[in-house]
Structure formats: C-alpha cells, structure tokens
Structure 1
Amino acid sequence: MQQNQNDGTAPQDYPLDGIRVVDFTHVLSGPYCTMLLADLGADVVKIERPDRGDENRRMRSYPGRTPEDEDYFYPMNRNKRSIEVNLKDPDQRPRLEALIREADVVVENFTPGTMKKLGLDYDSLRKINPGLIYCSISGYGQTGPYRDRRAYDSIIQAVAGVMSITGEPDGPPARAGLMFADLSGAMYAFSSILTSLYAREKTGKGNFIDLSMSDALLSLYSTNAAEYMAVGRVPGRAGSENPGRSPTGSYVCADGKYIQIMGGSDTLWPRFCEVIGVDGLAEDPRFVSNETRIKNRIALREILTPVLDSQASDHWVEAFNRIGVPAAPINTLADVLDDDHFRAREMELQLTHPKSGTIRTINNPFRFSAYRTWKTNPPPLLGQHNDDL
C-alpha cells in the first residue's frame, strides 16, 4: 500500500514521471542508483549485452532455486525495462542514438575510458542531446593515479580506510557487512542526478557527473575523522562500541541473544543506572562523567556483563526503552522482516515475476505525502522490451 497524504487523500503520480534514463550499468552500484530513479517513476531503459545481459543475471542460484531465478539481479533492477544492444555493432548505433536523443539521463559504471572507445562518452552524446545529464560511476573516478584500477566493494573499503576501523580492537581489519562502497556510490550518484535535473530546470544546461565510489565512501567518515583532523590521532577499531561514548556496545543476555545499548551521555547515565540496579554505580567516581567512563571503559564493561547476562534480551530492551535509554536487539535479517515495525513501514516488497513467481525484495525508504514512492513492476527479463523500444 502506498503512503497517503497527511490529509487522507491519495498521493499523486510519481515524482520522476516523464524522466527517461538510459541505463548502461551492471552489477551493483549503477543498477542500485537507477533502480531508485525507477522506483520514483523514471522510465529506466536498461541496455544489456545480447544473450548475456548484466553480469548479475549469471550469478549463482540458491538451494531450491533454478538457474532461471536471477536472485542476484532482482534486488537492484525492479521497475526497469530491458533491451539488448551490441554496443560494438555500428548497425545498432542509430537505434541507440534515437533512444539517447530523447533521454534526460545516461548512467554508466564501466572502467574509465570504456565509453569513450565506444563513442558513448559525454562529449559525444551531448552533441546529439545538449541537455543530457550524464553520470559516470567508477571505483576511483575519472582522474587520479588509481583511475584505471579495477574496483570491487571490499577493495574500496580497504583503500578508503573503512576496514581499518571495522572489527574488534584486538582482531584483524574486517569488511563491513553491507556493500557500503557500492551503495554509497549509488546513493551519491542518485542525489547528483536529481541535483543536476533541478539545475537544468533553471539553466537548461546538461551536466557530466564524475562519481567515485572511493570518494563517496571517504566522505562518510564525518565524526570518525574528527579526532584525526583535530589532533592527528588515527582512528582504530572499536568493535560494537562508540569510541566517544560509554557505556555503549553489544552484550549477551540470559537467552543467548545480544542487545546493543547506548547509555553514554551524561543525561542518560542516571537512567541507565536505574535500570541496571547496581548500588552506587551512578556515583562511582570512575563513572560519573562520559570522560571518566571512557577512561574506565573496561572496568565498566566487567561490571555490566554479568548483570545484563542475568535477564533475557526482551527484558532489557523493554526496560531501557521504557525509561528513554536507547537499546535494541541485534536482529538477523529474518528478525527484521518479521518485526511489526518494519512491516508497518512496508519495508518488504513482494513482486510477481514471470519466471520466478513471487520474489521478495527490500523496499526503498522514500515516504512522500504528495507522491507515490514506489512502483511494483518486477525486474525485467533479458531483452523483454526489445519490441517496445
């Protein structure tokens, strides 16, 4: 069900109705970006290699699934149309140029220089469409010493320093569980495209967007970089804890489940102690301020660990939240999708696919009062829209 306006009336059509996107992307960063555009109403035409298509169409299937179930392809490609085009075939060039001439946006995520060799770079295409918004997503950007290096999510996490601050303090560097490099690049590309479309409304000018996944990931450091920028101290791994707050982090409870707590501010600390129920803890000079609690973090954890292990996780989550102390169970994805809150937020989307039947996917987070914020078209079959276009 789509969200309704606050006054109870039905939302209007999608905010990006009338925008045509020619999508040359593959795998994750580019397809996720163009899927967000498609969710919001843009007509996204996915250009795929004949007989092969996007690389993610050929990734492994899961137990109980068949090779026709393109499970890696589905989560990033709903609401698009697919046509097969051999980009190296000059006979297909007029067909492609006709599509681009009517387009508002082109998105590609090939290695820098690839589209220029094909005659499909921004300088070539703006000659036939001066108002074109052209977004190139790459691992390292169109300039710089690393420009020509191949990039994958974990490699970008490594080079951008994210792995150095991920994991337990006494353990090795770790890759973050989500594909943060790909997805941060995708979301910055999405916002850059929307910005360019808005600017074009005022100026009539097209734009070239050079979107680097490594730049995007680095830009997310924010507070993680504050200490280094201020005094030169390199941030390290802190596990589940917040280096600037104590107590924080994950604790195991009596039922074997973990919870995450955040009682680190001086405002929250007395409330936290009220729930914990340890005599004298709030007044202990080692813990009276966030600064002293950080200095004595290990001693505080040693006190809290057996206390939190004395009750089930539900008990602590309810008790902390009742008094205004942030706490949550550390859920699996199965727990999340079974949670009444995320069901109320309609964060699982079920689509009917011509080959795979019902497919489950994660919805986007947009909730507008005046517009519809997602469509329900399944991911396209390879070349499904060749005749339409």
Structure 2
Amino acid sequence: MTLPLEGIRILESALQYPGPYCCMLLADLGAEVIKVEMPGVGDYARHLPDFFRSINRNKKSLTLNLKAPAGREVLYRLIEKSDVFTEGFRPGVAKRLGIDYDTLSRKNPLLIYCSISGYGQEGPYRDLPGHDLNYQAMSGMLQCFKDSQGDFIQPTLAIGDLSSGMFAAVGILATLIARDRTGKGSYIDVSMFNGLLSWMSTHLGTFFGTGKSTKVYEPGYGIFTGRDGKAFTLGIAHEDWFWDRLCTALGLEDLRGIPGSERRERRSELTEKLRTAFGKETREHWLETLEKADVPIAPVKTLEELTHDKHILHEEMIQDVQLSTGEPTKQVSFPIKITNLPRRIRMPPPALGEHTVPLLSELGYSASDIEGLRRQSAI
C-alpha cells in the first residue's frame, strides 16, 4: 500500500540525535530520507554503531563535502527535487556554508527548511554551546530529577534531543499540509530549549498559579521495593478508590478513606508505612496481589526483560533486521499503529555513502562526472 509520506523527499544534513530521530520517524511514514554526510567521516554517531543504527533505518546515505563548491552544487541540484531540508548546525554555520534557508529557497521556493539547534536561531542564548544536559538545566527540567535527599539525579535519557526531534517532525508535517494550501515553502526553527520548556508546562502552570516551584505527589505514587529488593512502581495519582483498594490489599484498613489532600500533607508518614508493608513480601507477590485488586502497579524492568516482554512481543515493537553486511540486529518499531499502515522496516541503516552513485546518476551525473567529483573531494 501507499505510505502516508510516500513521494516526499527529505534531505537530512543533521547529525547525532535530534535531526536523525526526526527524519527516522518521517522515513517510517514513507518519506524518502537522504542523509547528507561528510565523505570519509559521516554522522558522528557512526562512532557508536549500535546507537547510530537505532535512529537511522529506512534512509539512504549520500556523501557530500559541503565546503567544496562542487559538493554544494550537487546539493543545490538535489534541493530542486526535494521537499524538506533539515540541518542541525549551530546558528550561522549554514549561512557560512551557503546552505541557509534564503539560499536554498531561491533554488526551490516550495522547500520546507527545518533548523534544529540548542536555543534557536535568535535570542541571547543562540550562540551558547551545549548538549542535552545543559538544555535540561536551563529549562528547569533538572529540578524534576532529585533523590529523596534533594540531590540532583542525572537523567540517562536525552530528553531534549528526543523532544526536539518530535517537535521538528510535527513542524514538518504541519508545513507540508500548509504548503498544499498556500503553494509556499516555510522555515521551521526548532529549539531544544523551547521544546523542554514546553514539556515543563504543567510545572510552570502550577508555579504561575501558586507561586510554588514543587509538586507534592501522593504517597501511593512512587517507586518501592519488595522483600527481595526488586523495584516496582505505584501509580495512584489522585484516585481515592485506588488508595482504598491498596490499603485493603496491604492490610492497612485504618488508612482507608483518607482524602487526597490529607494524603499529600502526610506524604512522608504514609509513604513510610507503605514501604514497611511492601518489605514483608516479594515484588512478584505484590504484582500479583495488586493487579488482582486493580491497583496501578508495574515492575521496573531491565532492558533484557524488555526483549521478551509479552506485551512488547504482541505489539511487534521489536523487529529483526538484517544489515547490509548480512549481520542480524534488532530495532524498536515505529510506535504508532495506523489502520492499513505496515510498520515493517523497509531498509536497514545505510553504510556511509552507500547510495551516493545511484543518487548522483539519478541527478544526471555520468560515471566520468562522478569520478571528477571524487577527484575534487566533493563526494
């Protein structure tokens, strides 16, 4: 069947995480994604092969030296036949290379151009260097990650990279629809900082309303351990009925009927009572008991456990893929299920420059032309 983005060509000149993640989502939806990579070097993420493979399936790889005039000329010719261009340079770099929006939109007025950067293309922070952890700090998100002593916990998930990749995908999809209506291209400025700030909306909303910077959670909303030391989570966010069921299952009948406001006020005391009760039996016991009682509980799973999780297998969220080298690997599937949309991975992550020659041939370059580009270090 025809995939939703079939016929849309995207040039990905974005390295490492946000841009490649964005473009993988769009490739999963059927777009033709061409990674534009430096000859002999490629995406820096290639130094971490397993990481690279996880966000670069369903793509082609074209090596181009954008600092070489002949390399830029190839890009310009590609732009004329493309719908979207993504880049992840620091502000100002694309202009110095001659691949900024003003330049490329003159080649193709229908072009959708998406820039992903730390703090955006304007504003007092635009030129600051940074990585995900810096943007989490600046956005206030790190305030959400503290242990029971109030010390900061360093997240191991690149939340800013992932969120900006998702926001970039949303922006590109929206502007593709807008282009059909207006007949005009667009420029998209995605800031990792702004994306994280958007995800802080409810925390900031609480602060705007109360002047308080912290949210007090229910005692039944947290991470606990059983007698065997294995961790699990309770997810009682505010529901009185869940709390009462929990108390009955734990034999804490005297705690039933405590309203949410009082539970939050007595959080430390009640949490300690829950920890004591949970310490009397194993995690497996509590999983079985509380699932039967219809209380939201879930084990803290290891990565190894995920590979044979019955629900993940049912959802086909892990697929077997054969690399171009013949080596087998696994991939996490596109997470959205859409009627009549196959989630089969069409292409393995590409080798560096794997599609350079066929793409150049498609643009009208002859074998001798391609050899000339090699001699000029343009490809």
CA distance in 2, matches of 1:126, 1:387: 26
Offset at 1:361?
A: 2.3
Q: 1:277 aligns with which of 234, 251, 274?
A: 251
CA distance in 2, matches of 1:166, 1:374: 36
Segments of structure 1 that go 5 or more residues without pairing to the other structure are 1-11, 60-69, 237-242
Do residues 371 (structure 1) and 341 (structure 2) align?
Answer: yes
Do residues 267 (structure 1) and 241 (structure 2) align?
Answer: yes
Contact 2:203 2:214 in 1 (8 A): yes
Q: 1:121 corresponds to which residue?
A: 100
CA distance in 2, matches of 1:203, 1:211: 22
Do residues 305 (structure 1) and 278 (structure 2) align?
Answer: no
Alignment of 1:144-163 (within 5 A): 144-163=123-142
Residue type at the aligned position of 2:223: S
Contact 2:218 2:267 in 1 (8 A): no
SS of alignment partner, residue 331 of structure 1 = coil
Offset at 1:144?
A: 0.6
Segments of structure 2 that go 5 or more residues without pairing to the other structure are 360-379
Q: 1:21 aligns with which of 10, 16, 19?
A: 10
Do residues 235 (structure 1) and 214 (structure 2) align?
Answer: yes
Q: 2:30 aligns with which of 16, 27, 41?
A: 41
Contact 2:219 2:271 in 1 (8 A): no
TM-score by length of 1: 0.89
Alignment of 1:87-166 (within 5 A): 87-166=66-145
More helix by proportion, 1 or 2?
A: 2
Offset at 1:20?
A: 0.1
SS of alignment partner, residue 280 of structure 1 = helix
Do residues 252 (structure 1) and 225 (structure 2) align?
Answer: yes
Residue type at the aligned position of 2:81: E
Residue type at the aligned position of 2:305: D
What percent of counterpart residues are identical? 38
Q: Kindly provide the CA deviation profile for residues 36-72 of structure 1, in whole angstroms up to 9, marking residues without a partner as x.
A: 111111000100000010111124xxxxxxxxxx222
Q: 1:336 corresponds to which residue?
A: 306
CA distance in 2, matches of 1:276, 1:356: 53
Contact 2:203 2:213 in 1 (8 A): no
Contact 1:40 1:372 in 2 (8 A): no
Offset at 1:294?
A: 0.8
SS of alignment partner, residue 120 of structure 1 = coil
Q: Kindly provide the CA deviation profile for residues 250-284 of structure 1, in whole angstroms up to 9, marking residues without a partner as x.
A: 1110222111012342232211112111242215x
CA distance in 2, matches of 1:235, 1:58: 40
CA distance in 2, matches of 1:147, 1:211: 12
Residue type at the aligned position of 1:257: K
CA distance in 2, matches of 1:249, 1:310: 18
TM-score by length of 2: 0.91
SS of alignment partner, residue 106 of structure 2 = coil
Do residues 380 (structure 1) and 363 (structure 2) align?
Answer: no
Residue type at the aligned position of 1:54: D
RMSD of aligned C-alpha atoms? 1.5
Contact 2:321 2:345 in 1 (8 A): no
Q: Kindly provide the CA deviation profile for residues 297-354 of structure 1, in whole angstroms up to 9, marking residues without a partner as x.
A: 1111221112111222122122222222111001112112221001111111221112
Contact 2:21 2:55 in 1 (8 A): yes
Offset at 1:87?
A: 0.2
CA distance in 2, matches of 1:165, 1:133: 35
CA distance in 1, matches of 2:37, 2:56: 12
CA distance in 2, matches of 1:262, 1:276: 15
Contact 2:219 2:268 in 1 (8 A): no
Residue type at the aligned position of 1:51: G
Contact 1:153 1:182 in 2 (8 A): yes
SS of alignment partner, residue 388 of structure 1 = helix
CA change 1:103–1:270 in 2 (3 A) is same
Contact 1:346 1:363 in 2 (8 A): yes
Contact 1:266 1:289 in 2 (8 A): yes
Offset at 1:201?
A: 1.2
Q: 1:240 corresponds to which residue?
A: none
Which aligned segments of 4 or more residues in structure 1 are displaced greater than 6 angstroms?
A: none
Contact 1:41 1:375 in 2 (8 A): no
SS of alignment partner, residue 375 of structure 1 = coil
Greater Cα offset, 345-354 or 167-176: 167-176
Q: 1:239 corresponds to which residue?
A: none
Contact 1:157 1:175 in 2 (8 A): no
Q: 2:187 corresponds to which residue?
A: 208
Offset at 1:356?
A: 6.5
CA distance in 2, matches of 1:102, 1:216: 30
CA distance in 1, matches of 2:300, 2:326: 31
Offset at 1:371?
A: 2.2
SS of alignment partner, residue 72 of structure 1 = helix
Q: Kindly provide the CA deviation profile for residues 127-170 of structure 1, in whole angstroms up to 9, marking residues without a partner as x.
A: 11111111000000000111011221111111111112202141
Q: 2:367 corresponds to which residue?
A: none
Greater Cα offset, 204-213 or 312-321: 312-321
CA distance in 1, matches of 2:341, 2:14: 27
SS of alignment partner, residue 130 of structure 2 = coil
Residue type at the aligned position of 2:331: T
Alignment of 1:170-249 (within 5 A): 170-235=149-214, 243-249=216-222
